[in-house]
């Protein structure tokens, strides 16, 4: 069964450094998402992406964040200058169709655990 | 605004006994609802989803959930727990009006299964 994959599984970085988290969505999916979960808190939506542009983003997704689909398979989340509070588990997800109606399933990757020191 | 509340942060059951994980939702309309499960070091896996067809929804691994509008609940149940059910479970509702359906997660319920 096709899966969403994410690399790396763990990343440790120094405050102020740039990090790029990588995701390979399911191959015939067209909609892509990033979520994050700070330890002990809820999973929170960051951004959705379709047709090579951001469809929607949350308040968390400020100018330090960017997303890109550099080729036909990868979907990346870049944090330009990491802060301590960016430490979290980051999940990538994809769906075949738009979730506008609310019923479309999003398929999640295993996550990347980011630790900012 | 939509939200989901998972009433228990941790549930512990013995193997072979029933499982009940509680979720209440808040929405001005009848929403879609999902349960996802996360096993250690694994991604979030869809267990089941409700999309206004049948109110009793059957999912994978013997889990089911019943949508009760009068109680604004969508509790997850399983008649007999297995050791492999130990994981964290999330009740999820899509954001109404979100153009790409961003998901709102509950805080999660960690299920422990004792032998």
Joined together, the tokens standing for residue A60 give: 């968390």
Q: Is the pLDDT assigned to residue A80 strictly greater than 70? A: yes
pLDDT over 90 percentage in chain A:
73
pLDDT, tens only, B48-95:
999 877 889 999 999 999 999 899 999 999 999 999 999 999 999 887
Nearest Cβ partner for A110 among B41, B95, B107: B41
CB contact under 8 A, B32 and A50: no
- Please return the burial class of A88, using the count of CB atoms within 10 Å of its CB with bins 0-12, 13-18 and 19+: buried
> What pLDDT is recorded for position B100?
52
Sequence-ordered strand ranges (E) for A4-85: 5-7, 10-13, 19-24, 31-37, 43-50, 53-57, 65-68, 75-79
Q: What is the pLDDT of residue A77?
A: 97
User: What is d(CA B101, CA A106) in angstroms, rounded to the nearest whole number?
Assistant: 9
% pLDDT > 70, chain B: 93
Looking at residues A23-35, what average pLDDT do you find?
A: 93
Contacts with A72 (C-beta within 8 Å, 6 or more apart), sequence order: none
CB B102 within 8 A of CB A56: yes
Answer with the residue of higher pLDDT: B22 or B29. Answer: B22
């Amino acid at each position: 069964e096709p899966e969403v994959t994410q690399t790396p599984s763990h990343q440790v970085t120094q405050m102020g450094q740039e990090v790029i988290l990588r995701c390979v969505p399911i191959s015939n999916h067209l909609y892509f998402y990033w979520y994050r979960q700070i330890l002990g808190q809820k999973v929170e939506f960051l951004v959705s992406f379709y047709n090579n542009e951001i469809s929607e983003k949350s308040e968390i997704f400020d100018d330090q964040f960017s997303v890109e689909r550099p080729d036909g398979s990868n979907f990346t989340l870049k944090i330009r200058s990491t802060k301590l509070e960016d430490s979290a588990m980051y999940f990538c997800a994809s769906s075949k169709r738009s979730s506008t109606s609310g019923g479309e399933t999003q398929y999640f990757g295993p996550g990347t655990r980011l630790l900012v020191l | 605004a939509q939200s989901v509340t998972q009433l228990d942060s941790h549930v512990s059951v013995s193997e072979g006994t029933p499982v009940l994980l509680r979720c209440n939702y808040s929405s001005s309309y009848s929403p879609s609802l999902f349960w996802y499960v996360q096993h250690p070091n694994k991604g979030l896996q869809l267990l089941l989803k409700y999309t206004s067809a049948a109110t009793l929804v059957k999912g994978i691994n013997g889990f089911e959930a019943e949508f009760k509008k009068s109680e604004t609940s969508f509790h997850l149940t399983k008649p007999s727990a297995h050791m492999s059910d130990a994981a964290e479970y999330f009740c999820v509702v899509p954001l109404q009006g979100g153009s790409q359906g961003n998901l709102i997660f509950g805080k999660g319920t960690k299920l422990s299964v004792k032998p």
